Amino acid sequence: MNSVQYAVPMPRETLTREQIVQAAVTLLDEAGIDGLSMRKLGQRLGSAATAMYWHVGSKENLVSLACDRVWSEVGAHDPAELGWREAARRHARDTYETLRGHTWVIAATGAYFVYGHGMARVQDASYAIYEAAGFTGWDLDWAVNAASTFAGGAALSDASLDPVKQRGDTAAMREALAEAGEIAASYPRLRARLEQQAGVDEAVFVEEKFDFGLEIILDGLEARLRAR
């Protein structure tokens, strides 16, 4: 006779907020914001949904806590030690890689009021870098915004291809990709670029694309400083 196994409910006193937030990050990585619920999280932790509410208050607060956990993954880079440009380069790369691994953070920032010490630390570090470069006043704000917007946009753009690659082995997806290729090939400049890009290592392509864009931004910021 087959026996049915059930998760043993975990009393809310044995759970910690840290455990719940980490489990939420994992679930958000897998299913996105729409896939997060207190019920699903409780099932994953072997506890009741009410215990989730007891520890974190609401889904909105849980998403905010999860975002803050993700932002804490971005490293700190000292412009006094590295020079402002190398510190900016590393800071942008860390931000890009962190957000690409947790793209739901970008969506959450638009859907909820998401702010905590993790995000504040990253922002403060960014201000320190561009302040060390010589930016002040509004120019300092715009320099920080230019770099962070590029890193976040690149992460969202590159991560959007992941579901396509994951579904690429299905007949429907192969047909859709073939049709997209035929459409692009009917435009001469797109066709020429597709032909040159064929067979290129995708990881190298993505790496060089990000580096090119970032260096252009840093070149522009440096030129702005010289012009002043």
Q: Kindly report the CATH number assigned to the domain that includes residue 206.
A: 1.10.357.10
Confidence of residue 162 (pLDDT cuts 50, 70, 90): low
Out of 52-66, 77-91, 139-153, pick the least confident.
52-66
Do 197 and 111 belong to one domain? yes
Out of 65-79, 169-183, 204-218, pick the least confident.
169-183
Across 129-141, average pLDDT: 97
Domain's final residue, options 25, 57, 89: 57
Do 114 and 190 belong to one domain? yes
Do 199 and 92 belong to one domain? yes
Across 213-224, average pLDDT: 96
Do 151 and 211 belong to one domain? yes
Note the pLDDT of residue 169: 61
Question: Which domain, by its residues, includes 106?
Answer: 79-227
In a domain, 10, yes or no: no
Do 34 and 95 belong to one domain? no
Share of the chain above pLDDT 70, in %: 90
Do 47 and 123 belong to one domain? no
We report the CATH number of the domain holding residue 23 as 1.10.10.60
In a domain, 186, yes or no: yes
Highest mean pLDDT among 134-148, 150-164, 176-190: 134-148
Note the pLDDT of residue 171: 79
In a domain, 198, yes or no: yes
Note the pLDDT of residue 107: 87
Note the pLDDT of residue 14: 77
Note the pLDDT of residue 198: 82
Note the pLDDT of residue 13: 56
In a domain, 9, yes or no: no
Note the pLDDT of residue 82: 97
Write the DSSP string, the chain: -PPPP-PPPPPTTT--HHHHHHHHHHHHHHHTGGG--HHHHHHHHTS-HHHHHHHH-SHHHHHHHHHHHHHTTS----HHHH-HHHHHHHHHHHHHHHHHHTTHHHHHHHHS----HHHHHHHHHHHHHHHHHT--HHHHHHHHHHHHHHHHHHHHHHHTHHHHHHTTTSHHHHHHHHHHHHHHHTSHHHHHHHHHHTT--HHHHHHHHHHHHHHHHHHHHHHHHHH-
> Does residue 88 have a pLDDT over 50?
yes
Confidence of residue 99 (pLDDT cuts 50, 70, 90): very high
The domain total for the chain is: 2
Across 128-137, average pLDDT: 97
In a domain, 69, yes or no: no
